With several copies, the nearest count.
Chain A
Amino acid sequence: MEPVTVMAARAEREAAGRPVADKRMTAEDAAALIRDGDHVAIGGTLYSRTPMALVFALLRQRRRHLTVSRPLACYEIELFLATGALDRIVTSWVGIGLPWGLAPVFRHYVERGEARYDEWSHLAMGLRYKAGAMGVPFLPSLTMLGSDLAGALGLQTVDCPYTGEQLAAVPALNPDVALIHAHRADMFGNVQVDGYRHMDADMAKAARTVIVSAERIVSPEEIAASPAQTMLPHFAVDAVVAAPYGSYPHECYGLYGPDFGHFTAYAAATKEQGPAGALRYVEENVDGHTGFAGFIAAAGPERLAALAADAGELMGR
């Protein structure tokens, strides 16, 4: 882990002005803000509210030497690995989802030492983003103590100056880039989300560059009509990308469920072909379309309607 001083993280934040401008752009233009070697934090969790339109745009760029962090990581990790974009994974769990078993492409790269996996606990990931968001270099916690994870990561402890108790010191994480998918955003980057927020707010506040995709671009007036639902203010956001069904094949709370059939097909291909299966997936589903809208169109209106109906049933609609 690379310790980030408060001084450095703040100086960077202060230096990066964020004018109140129309921040709308294409996913491709937004992804072009990401550089080789960047640490990219991906919002949502596992297959929920993943910023898939942004992930696909980044995959299309074939960046190199990326680090990717997430609370729990899904098959997007394998796509980055198979396209040679990823050196290092920072998360607490990697897989497609429980029923699909171990992820073979992930195993391929990590077991051969071709990619590094820094494994933190789930809460520790959350506290790392939170420390970064709070502008402090660490947060104290009672988690990860005594485990071999702590040793493998070089986790330090800190003593409470009042009680003398020893706690884990979870170091701040300030990603170079955060990718977030939301329900609504205005053109300035005021962002609203329905349901639970995963670790998105802290992740974005901690990051240097924040790219948000949204199901709907709405007026500032619509944001101001329910200000308590705003998760991120415009001054924490650099780019806004319109992305209907922007989490597909993952789910977006209240709007559409996950497409398990899509997962299953992917899992079957990679079980059989390994990394080649994942690469082929990218060639077909990412490179094979001029943009994410093409991928969504290929899914077809019937499938999307069924996923929306799944969400509707759970929301009591």
Chain B
Amino acid sequence: MSDVTAEELMAVTASRLLADHKVVFAGVGMPLLASAVARHRQAPHLTIVLEGGIIGTTLLPGKLPISTNEMRAAYGAQMLTDITDIFLYAQRGFFDYGFLGAAQVDMYGNINTSVIGSMERPRVRLPGSGGANDIISLCNEVLIVTQHEPRRFVERVDFITSPGYLSGGDSRARAGLVGGRLGAVVTDLALLDFEPGSRRMRLRGLQAGVTVGQVREQTGFDLLVGDDIEELVPPSAQELAIYRELRDGPATAEPAADAGDLADRVPAGPA
């Protein structure tokens, strides 16, 4: 399957990490798309939860939400509750996965969506945490999906909006954080995890045709490299078809130009 976009590659690769019968608390954009792909493939019993207070959304293909609080996000849901309540489910330990994008992530998995520069006088004031801080603090296991660029993969984030392993080792547990074991980071170049002892980010798999050197080049810190680097299987025709139908609607229908266009451009944002 030719001309696979970076988004498609990331979403499909990430979708494979989701096991059946689990509950995923997904941000909009790639996390939601990846979760929806998983539901249509290996994880038909995956429950997708969105922070608008939505449990078990099934989504209407071609009508994907761009906010977790809008009607489209609630399509087919089994339950609607409120925002605070849904996060309290997370705090109780009900959500197997938290699934996030990241504007800037560091070697310990800390995410910054607050400021470039200082908080007092930011060079760029980013939108803020949204639910990302809560998702990474409260879900049982956290997955991150984002594009692999040096400006995104930095040694230390300017500001820890959403805590990963903080300064590594047991610093996360010492801060009182109970949930939020960081499982994997998926990018258009690689699959990464965190080394158990140091909690530093570690290369585990490469997208087809990508070299370790290329990943290092696109990473703004000294990346650990695991012992057996897996070559990731490229998206199958079936996976791409599922992804594209979800994004654009059934192929037979008129292309839902606006919605598809929007979904394409969805950056990492409020989870």
Contacts and interface: CB of A to CB of B under 8 A. Distances in A.
Q: Do A and B come from one complex?
A: yes
Interface of A: 6-7, 9-11, 13-14, 17-20, 44-48, 71-72, 91-95, 97-99, 101-103, 106-107, 110-111, 113, 117, 119-124, 126-127, 129-130, 133-136, 141-149, 152, 157, 165-168, 190, 195-202, 205-206, 220, 223-224, 227-228, 230, 232-236, 251, 253-254, 257-258, 260, 311, 313-315
Question: What secondary structure prevails in chain A residues at the interface with B?
Answer: mixed
Contact of A146 (B45, B53, B176): B176
A169 to B, nearest CB: 12
B91 interface: yes
A93 B77 CA distance: 25
Contacts of B84: 123, 126-127, 129-130, 199, 202
Interface string B116-139: 000111111111111111100110
Contacts of A11: 93
B124 A107 contact: yes
A46 B87 contact: no
A190 B179 contact: no
Contacts of A200: 82
B40 to A, nearest CB: 15
A46 B67 contact: yes
Name the prevailing secondary structure of the B interface residues: loop
B17 interface: no
A143 B265 CA distance: 30
Chain B interface size, under 10 / 10 to 19 / 20 to 34 / 35 or more: 35 or more
Instruction: Please provide the 8 A-B residue pairs with the shortest distance between their CB atoms, ordered closest to farther.
Output: A126-B84, A146-B175, A230-B79, A20-B45, A135-B92, A13-B93, A123-B87, A121-B133
B128 A134 contact: no
A197 B84 CA distance: 10
Contact of A142 (B120, B178, B266): B178
B46 to A, nearest CB: 8
A10 B178 contact: yes
